[in-house]
Homo-oligomer: A and B are copies of this chain.
Amino acid sequence: MLDLEKIKRYLSLFTNLSIGDIYYLFTLVKEKKLKHGEVYLDVGVNSRKLAYIKSGLVRGYVVKQNGEEATLVLRSEDQFIASYDSILKNEKSRACYHAIEDTVLLEVDFDAIMDLIDKNPKYSAGRRYFFSNVAHDLLDRMEAFILLSPEERYQHFLSQNPSLARRIPDKYIASYLGITPVSLSRIRKRLAQKKK
Contact = CB atoms under 8 A, between A and B. Distances in A.
Interface string A126-137: 001001101110
Interface stretch (A34-42, A116-124, A154-162, A181-189): A116-124
A71 B145 CA distance: 11
A93 to B, nearest CB: 13
A169 to B, nearest CB: 17
B143 A142 contact: no
Given A114-B128, A128-B114, A88 B145 contact: no
Interface in A99-153: 114, 118-119, 121, 124, 128, 131-132, 134-136, 138-139, 141-143, 145-147
Contacts of A146: 70-72, 175-176, 178
Could you say which interface size class chain A belongs to? Answer: 20 to 34
Contact of A136 (B88, B114, B175): B88
A20 to B, nearest CB: 20
Given A119-B121, A146-B72, A138 B136 contact: no
Contact of A64 (B70, B119, B138, B147): B147
